[in-house]
Chains A and B, each alone.
Chain A
Amino acid sequence: MNQTATNDVDVLAGDYYTRHFAAGPNDDTLILNMGPQHPSTHGVLRIVLEMDGEYILRAEPVLGYIHRMQEKMGENRAYLQYFPNMGRVDYLHALAWNWAYAGAVERLAGIEVPPRAEYLRVISCEMNRICSHLLWWGAYILDLGAFTPILYAFVDREEIMDLLQIITGSRLTYCYFTFGGVTADATPAFIDGTRAFIKSMRSRLPMFKGLVTDNLILRKRCEEIGVIDLDMARRYGATGPVLRGSGVACDTRRHEPYSCYNEFDFAIPTASTCDAMGRYLVRMDEISESLKILEQALDMLPDGPFVNPKAPRKVKPAAGETYFSVESARGKVGVYVQSDGSTTPYRVKLRAPCFSNLSLFAELSAGTLLADAVSILGSLDLVIPEIDR
């Protein structure tokens, strides 16, 4: 169904979105496509820019290059069959999406999770969070032009991926959770390896700070770039480090506690500068807080079954709806499931934090330099498959 604005639209060059964008008020500006093949957009994201020299006048992200209609797949599969899709929505923090979906259906169907399984979920999810933050850090610095730190981050990521391979079997798109618990128990090799990892990660963090965080060039690229105030966060629904970098201590693990997060002692890092540097520092501090949670969870890991033995093989929740949210590395993930009492969901809605975080880019980037726009995009920590689903 074609939307035609004026007759001039058909005369302009470019595809559908370029034509609509180019029919703007100015005539002597450059229309530039950033993406969808671009090393700094962190996925197949296309942003149509109207440039006045190096300054961006207008920006409009164009989505849909990796849209796979995950929500339709949710209606066509039995509840258990939809789990692998969750790992592919946000492949960097796959376990958070696993958890959101498992939590939603467990609430609908009234399936309980034994304590050991809750702790295993926390341990694996926090390790996944550290893994995701490390990749964000390396890729962000790579966008800004530094080629070394990404491989330093990958050294630590390899340790985490090897550890998670012990219990899940996978390195990236984990399919570890199931209704009523997890699919495999933690082995002594995993527990010892995780304790050794916590120690080694703690010893590496000062090196990251000395190499990158204190670096003059990084500070010049990140300070006072992309200032997001509270009103903007509220209008667009920004959550996660994007929100906490603007001074709001809102983390779903404290705000709407799920599972056993109430039993852990950890702080919610915030920054008051509201800029890209604030979001950067929040994520680095979150790595330290996740290490604290890991330590406590390993110390408090109870014995018992790793999955509820009474969890049904064929999940058929009673009719109803539920909205379950979880804190992923990017923000507040929401999975909304409607059940009509049959073996397949009636509706599955995936609320992706990056979708809301990216929607403020158009307003945020007006008037900035193109290089600063790259820094802003990196500081939002985007995973495009999560935006497009």
Chain B
Amino acid sequence: MSLVKNICDTASGLYSLLVGLAITGKNFASPQLTIHYPRQEVTNLDTYRGHIELVPLEDNPILSCCVGCGMCAKSCPSGCITVESKELPKPPAIEPLASAEPGAKPAKAKRTVGSFILNYSLCSLCGQCVRSCPSDGLRFSTNVYFAARTRAEMTIDLVERFNRQAAGKKGA
């Protein structure tokens, strides 16, 4: 009785191996799913969470929403943000006497970001900076192809990047 069972078990076991071979054979003949980068590229980069970047103002895209308040630097768990604000130059008054009321205080100078240095080698892409910004001045970029060879190259100057992006939009 146990000899019959052994033979049946062996037969079903060998059959399972043949089934497996058939499956691998079928997959071998199917088209390849691997994307051969850089000859081909992936298509879902728009949802990628890359390093943060500054967001331009809607009505004045050469300026960013960031006012340099430093909330992002305070809420970052890794301490990778260094931000300084600066005063925006006041626009020249065209008719100063006509618009100024007697006894009115001069308007407070608006501030914008002066320098914004991100130490990307410490960043964990947690998003606390993006969510804590009171003026929605930060967002994740889709910079998937970021690569660096030295630690210095991992330090990103976001104001410089923002200016480059703004100039690139305006230019050709």
| A interface residues, Cβ below 8 angstroms from B | 77-78, 80-85, 88, 148, 152, 155, 158, 162, 165-166, 168-170, 173, 175, 178, 183, 207, 210-212, 214-217, 219, 313
A residues near B44, Cβ cutoff 8 Å: 162, 165-166
Question: A88 CA to B76 CA in the complex, in Å?
Answer: 17
Q: From residue 125 to 156 of chain B, which have CB atoms closer than 8 A to chain A?
A: 125-128, 131-132, 140
CB <8 Å contact, B124 and A169: no
Question: A212 CA to B20 CA in the complex, in Å?
Answer: 7
B residues near A207, Cβ cutoff 8 Å: 23
Question: A77 CA to B128 CA in the complex, in Å?
Answer: 13
Question: A215 CA to B19 CA in the complex, in Å?
Answer: 9
CB <8 Å contact, B75 and A175: no
Question: A252 CA to B23 CA in the complex, in Å?
Answer: 36
CB <8 Å contact, A175 and B24: no
Which A-chain residue is minimally distant from B13 (CB atoms)? A216
A-B contact pairs, 26 of them (CB 8 A): A77-B77, A81-B128, A82-B77, A84-B125, A148-B27, A155-B33, A162-B44, A165-B44, A165-B47, A166-B47, A169-B47, A169-B48, A169-B49, A170-B125, A173-B124, A175-B125, A175-B126, A178-B131, A211-B20, A211-B24, A214-B19, A215-B16, A215-B17, A216-B12, A216-B14, A216-B16
CB <8 Å contact, A84 and B124: yes
CB <8 Å contact, B124 and A148: no
Interface secondary structure of A, over-half rule? helix
User: From residue A90, how far is it (CB to closest CB) to chain B in Å?
Assistant: 16
Q: Pick from B20, B76, B125, B132 the residue with the most CB of A within 10 Å.
A: B20
Tell me the total A-B contact number using a CB cutoff of 8 A: 70
Q: From residue 53 to 78 of chain B, which have CB atoms closer than 8 A to chain A?
A: 75-77
CB <8 Å contact, B16 and A214: yes
Question: A81 CA to B71 CA in the complex, in Å?
Answer: 13
Question: A214 CA to B49 CA in the complex, in Å?
Answer: 41
B residues near A216, Cβ cutoff 8 Å: 12-14, 16-17
A residues near B23, Cβ cutoff 8 Å: 207, 210-211
CB <8 Å contact, B77 and A81: yes
9 extra interface residue pairs, beta carbon distance < 8 Å, beyond A152-B27, A170-B49, A215-B17: A83-B128, A88-B124, A169-B47, A175-B125, A175-B126, A210-B20, A214-B16, A215-B20, A216-B14
User: From residue A192, how far is it (CB to closest CB) to chain B in Å?
Assistant: 14
B residues near A313, Cβ cutoff 8 Å: 132
Which A-chain residue is minimally distant from B46 (CB atoms)? A166
A165-B47, A169-B49 known; A80 vs B128 contact (CB < 8 Å): yes
A81-B75, A210-B20, A216-B17 known; A175 vs B124 contact (CB < 8 Å): yes
User: From residue B127, how far is it (CB to closest CB) to chain A in Å?
Assistant: 6
